[in-house]
Amino acid sequence: MFKPKTNKIEMLADCFTKRIKELEKLFSGTVNMYVDYANVRPWSAKLGWNVDPKRLKQFLDSFDNINEIKFYAGTLHGDGESVKFIKKLQKYKYEVRTKIVKIMNISIDASSVQSQSTDLINRFIRPALVRKLDIETIEYLNNKFKEMNQKGIYFIQDRKCNFDVEIGRDMEIDQIKNNIGTFVLWSGDSDFAEPIEKLLDNGKQVILFATARRVALELNNLRAKGLYIFDIQKIRNFVCWRREIQKEILSSINAKETL
């Protein structure tokens, strides 16, 4: 049952009664949530708005059958803002899972690369796409690498902090030991296809919270087995930054507050 945690959520719910009823129907039995933040955070570029962890927690806490919300986010070593973010998540009462972000140095040394070779390009572009490139494009990209080398740049840094193993393991434990009936994953990553399929095969309800065109084909294919994909655009005003609430909705709420 939906029991608004704040007055703002209650007023928003009055504007989106059908949406709340839809979620109440989806969240059947005991529910666990798994938020893969490394996958969720970049959605803002596509959505045009950001998921606010604080407002997200308040909204989800309004459903009384949500048992636990596990939030997976990396910690960047030596970065004060990163540490502060994790502490905020803990303050919001998420079940936080974190680990140190790996910093990888990737070579872009093109000194021994032939102009028409794809050896270096293959490190950054999927092979299926590389095969579609013409010779001129390959030569152009290799020349760009060489230009960076001439400026003294021979490697770039990339960050990696995947939680697919941890999330998959937590889901399995929650299924076996904690009698969870409904599993809600915030992600669109293909790495979760296998654990989700196992849950579906075991008769569990699985809901994927994601955004359009950001769901891997492997996950889309699991719809045939019962995976439900919920577009988070539907709950934007409940979970976005406050300043990103749609103007017409904000006007409606402000009008109610003045009554």
pLDDT of 54-64, one tens digit each? 999 999 999 99
- Indicate the range of 11-15, 196-200, 249-253 predicted with least confidence: 249-253
Name the nearest CA neighbour of 223 among 203, 200, 204, 202.
Answer: 200
Domain presence at residue 1: no
Query: Do 43 and 170 reside in the same domain of the chain?
Result: yes
Same-domain status, 80 and 176: yes
| pLDDT at residue 197 in the model | 97
User: Does one domain contain both 185 and 242?
Assistant: yes
Question: Total structural domains in the chain?
Answer: 2
Q: List the domain range (segments joined by +) for residue 215.
A: 7-101+161-257
The HSE-up count of residue 78 (CA atoms within 13 Å, CB side) is 2
pLDDT confidence of residue 258: 61
Tell me: pLDDT of 213 over 80: no
- pLDDT for residue 227: 97
131 and 108 in one domain? yes
Last residue of a domain, one of 144, 159, 174: 159
Q: Is residue 2 one of the residues assigned to a domain?
A: no
222 lies in some domain: yes
Given this model, what pLDDT does residue 158 score?
A: 86
Angle made by CA atoms 248, 250, 256, in degrees to the nearest 5 = 105
pLDDT band per the 50, 70, 90 thresholds, residue 178: confident
Q: What is the DSSP letter of 29?
A: S
